[in-house]
Amino acid sequence: MSEASLPFNEKYCPSSVSVTSGEKRRQEWEKSIKNLQEFWAEKAKAIDWFKPFDKVLDDSNPPFYKWFAGGELNVSYNALDRHVKAHRKNKLAYIWEGEMGEVKTYTYYQLYREVNKLAKVFKDFGLKKGDRVAVFLPVIPELPITLLATARIGGIHAVVFSGFSAEALADRINDCGAKILVTADGSFRRGKPVAIKETADRALLTTTSVEKVIVVKRTGQPIQMKEGRDVWYDDVMTKAGANVYVEPEHMQSTDPLFILYTSGTTGKPKGVQHGTGGYLVWAYWTLKWAFNPSDEDIYWCVADIGWITGHTYNVYAPLSLGVTALLFEGTPDYPAQDRWWDIIERHGVTILYGTPTAVRMFMKFGEQWVLKHDLSSLRLLGTVGEPINPEAWRWYYRVVGKEKLPIIDTWWQTETGGFMIAPLSGIELTPLKPGSATLPLPAINADIYDEKGQSVGTGNKGLLVVKSPWPGMLQTLWKDPERFKQTYFGKWANIYCTGDYAIKDPDGYYWLLGRADEVLKVAGHRIGTVELESALVSHPAVSEAAVMGKEDSVKGEVPVAFVTLRSGFQPSDELRAELVKHIRTTIGPIATPDAIVIVNKLPKTRSGKIMRRILKAVLVGAPIGDVSTLEDDASVEDIKVTYEELRRQINKK
């Protein structure tokens, strides 16, 4: 934040790119905000429509906005057919690199063929427009193929990150009522096979909607195949025939394209629903504006397709633009700490879209790993998922970018569908400041509000809001329109509330300051503290739980759980280990707490509400502040003593 008030710093404007004061961008932004409908009518021309839309924006029933109402299109047609019919037929769509170093490539034509085959398989299994397909796969080519095949026949996909537990998968399948599940025999994690089919099988014990399970062979490990339900992907694809063509379904612009579950402030994940036309136009333009990929680029977004970044920026945006994208299945430090740099050098990657957690991890490994490789192919660097601290920004800029490459810090959310605040390189490069995502994109009417709904102006922290609809915004929460309204528009009517704190500097630059609610960002993964608390109290030993985020030098923040035990249970290392295991099996390894602190009592108000503020103060070592509403002042002391004791124990190990 120290640089927030400084005027634009020349040093961070790469000399190879012509940079003005960002004036062109400001002009474009003002024009777009004034004439929202005209602006989007023009931008929508980048997409192929089967039937033109009647209205750019139907806002007759806010906040249920309808983008490009009356228009018909198909996303898989835009991602594949239109390139196959034109000059990109034999251009590479994907270069895939597996965890074990295998490389596979797909031209747009080859991808088109595979997608048509799988679309035929889906049709033969009776999948119809509007039916849901659950996807539980590692990052292998069959993952985007599944998404595109689903979209081709008008299905709705619901991808579940392959690191989630059986319980988490079952909850999501049950919520969306998926008819088909596409999964794999296994996945690889640091070279070792992980039994994801076994996880899927356990999930399917508590679901009733799934009729067919299509299993991709990835690891070759032995698995159970349930007669009549489970089929091998390769078998059904071969049976579909080599040259099948499936007519892409004519979808309404407002038909749902996918559901993606994300964490919120309650125990139940939210099924964020994205539509077809608005989402695709948004995906296309945001990538074009920020990264401006061309036919010469090899673009690599490191995100897993299990998250929104992978949906938009590994599948829909690059393919609709006809870009060559690299997909990587594995981990950044396997088999060695230079895996990323090795990939960039071997494949000639030109655009790298990474994360602050990865950058901080590489900083720890040391720059020698980067310097071993020729990274001269790179022309742009991106980052997403959590605030990037200026130190990490500078390291990325200096060591990876050789003080020449712009850092495109993109702020956005699962709900926003695509970038919202980011530097642009398509119009002209936006002047950069380390640690700021810079300015709202064209047509994004962002502001920062205080609790009363007043704009806070320059230099004051407040809640980031968006005051006008945009094409990529979520349509609703799956089967829960009331929760959608309450969560995002409940505070102020027709004002989208992001749940993030931000501050604007005198140049109008936005500095994102993290979540304002009970949602954590652990290594960029979004985890609700209430989800963790529910998981903990579902264990027979736990009476109450409160989970807090604690700053971490690599992951940004990590969860720390305070728990009280039911009578008959005693604190022990074994119990703590069991609780960690319990979280891994009810949510997944990404939610593993950094510490579980067993206490006698939690600090509560007289009305019985846990005082999270106090727990936070204990964690960061800040003064406790006013405790006058505490039920029993002594419990604060208990917590401090227990926590410090535990830290001492941990430090000894």
Which residues form the interface with ligand PRX (CB under 6 A)? 262, 308-309, 384-387, 409-414, 437, 498-500, 512, 514-515, 521, 526
519: helix, strand or coil: strand
Closer to ligand PRX by Cβ: residue 74 or 312: 312
Closer to ligand PRX by Cβ: residue 387 or 401: 387
Closer to ligand PRX by Cβ: residue 358 or 512: 512
- Closest-CA residue to 529 (of 561, 555, 481, 494): 561
Instruction: Kindly write down the DSSP assignment for every residue of 142-206, as one continuous string.
Output: HHHHHHHHHHHTT-EEEE--TTS-HHHHHHHHHHHT-SEEEEES-EEETTEEE-HHHHHHHHHTT
Decide: 639 and 615 in contact? Cβ < 8 Å: yes
Rounded to an integer, what distance in angstroms lies between the CA atom of residue 253 and that of residue 235? 34
Q: Mention every residue, 6+ apart, whose C-beta is less than 8 A from residue 486.
A: none
Report, in Å, the least distance between residue 518 CB and ligand PRX: 12
What is the torsion angle, in degrees rounded to the nearest 10, for the CA atoms of residue 274, residue 280, residue 281 and residue 283? 90
Rounded to an integer, what distance in angstroms lies between the CA atom of residue 59 and that of residue 340? 45
Report, in Å, the least distance between residue 474 CB and ligand PRX: 10
Closer to ligand PRX by Cβ: residue 393 or 562: 393
Closer to ligand PRX by Cβ: residue 136 or 411: 411
Report, in Å, the least distance between residue 262 CB and ligand PRX: 5
Report, in Å, the least distance between residue 516 CB and ligand PRX: 9
Category of 274 on φ-ψ map: left (φ > 0), alpha (ψ -120 to 50) or beta = beta
Q: Where are the alpha helices (DSSP H) in 425-545?
A: 481-489, 529-537
Please count the other Cβ atoms lying within 10 Å of the Cβ belonging to residue 186. 25
Closer to ligand PRX by Cβ: residue 172 or 526: 526
Adjacent-strand bridge partners of 133:
157, 180
Rounded to an integer, what distance in angstroms lies between the CA atom of residue 8 and that of residue 75? 40
Cα atoms in the 13 Å half-sphere on the side-chain side of 558:
14
Closer to ligand PRX by Cβ: residue 76 or 414: 414
Report, in Å, the least distance between residue 452 CB and ligand PRX: 22
Rounded to an integer, what distance in angstroms lies between the CA atom of residue 273 and that of residue 617? 37
Adjacent-strand bridge partners of 455:
449
Strands (E), 241-280: 251-252, 256-262, 270-275
Report, in Å, the least distance between residue 515 CB and ligand PRX: 5
Enter the tokens of residue 205: 């014990």
Closer to ligand PRX by Cβ: residue 121 or 432: 432
Report, in Å, the least distance between residue 347 CB and ligand PRX: 24
Which position's Cβ is nearest ligand PRX?
Answer: 414
- Closest-CA residue to 294 (of 323, 314, 325): 323
Report, in Å, the least distance between residue 423 CB and ligand PRX: 11
Rounded to an integer, what distance in angstroms lies between the CA atom of residue 235 and that of residue 121? 10
- Closest-CA residue to 212 (of 194, 189, 230): 230
Closer to ligand PRX by Cβ: residue 43 or 521: 521
Closer to ligand PRX by Cβ: residue 273 or 498: 498
Report, in Å, the least distance between residue 572 CB and ligand PRX: 35
Report, in Å, the least distance between residue 60 CB and ligand PRX: 28
Closer to ligand PRX by Cβ: residue 115 or 497: 497
* Helix%, strand%, coil% for the chain, nearest 5: 35, 25, 40
Instruction: Kindly write down the DSSP assignment for every residue of 377-434, as one continuous string.
Output: T--EEEEESSPPPHHHHHHIIIIITTTTSPEEEEB--GGG-S-SB---SSSSPPP--T
Report, in Å, the least distance between residue 312 CB and ligand PRX: 8
Closer to ligand PRX by Cβ: residue 133 or 421: 421
Report, in Å, the least distance between residue 246 CB and ligand PRX: 32
- Residue whose structure tokens are 């119990």: 575
294: helix, strand or coil: coil
- Residue whose structure tokens are 């590489």: 362
Rounded to an integer, what distance in angstroms lies between the CA atom of residue 82 and that of residue 483? 38
Closer to ligand PRX by Cβ: residue 150 or 263: 263
Report, in Å, the least distance between residue 613 CB and ligand PRX: 20
Report, in Å, the least distance between residue 311 CB and ligand PRX: 10
Rounded to an integer, what distance in angstroms lies between the CA atom of residue 188 and that of residue 359? 23
Q: Mention every residue, 6+ apart, whose C-beta is less than 8 A from residue 66.
A: 55, 57, 58, 59, 253, 254
Closer to ligand PRX by Cβ: residue 349 or 408: 408
Report, in Å, the least distance between residue 513 CB and ligand PRX: 8
Report, in Å, the least distance between residue 511 CB and ligand PRX: 9
Enter the tokens of residue 130: 């509007």
Closer to ligand PRX by Cβ: residue 240 or 523: 523
What is the torsion angle, in degrees rounded to the nearest 10, for the CA atoms of residue 381, residue 387, residue 391 and residue 392? -40
Closer to ligand PRX by Cβ: residue 1 or 225: 1
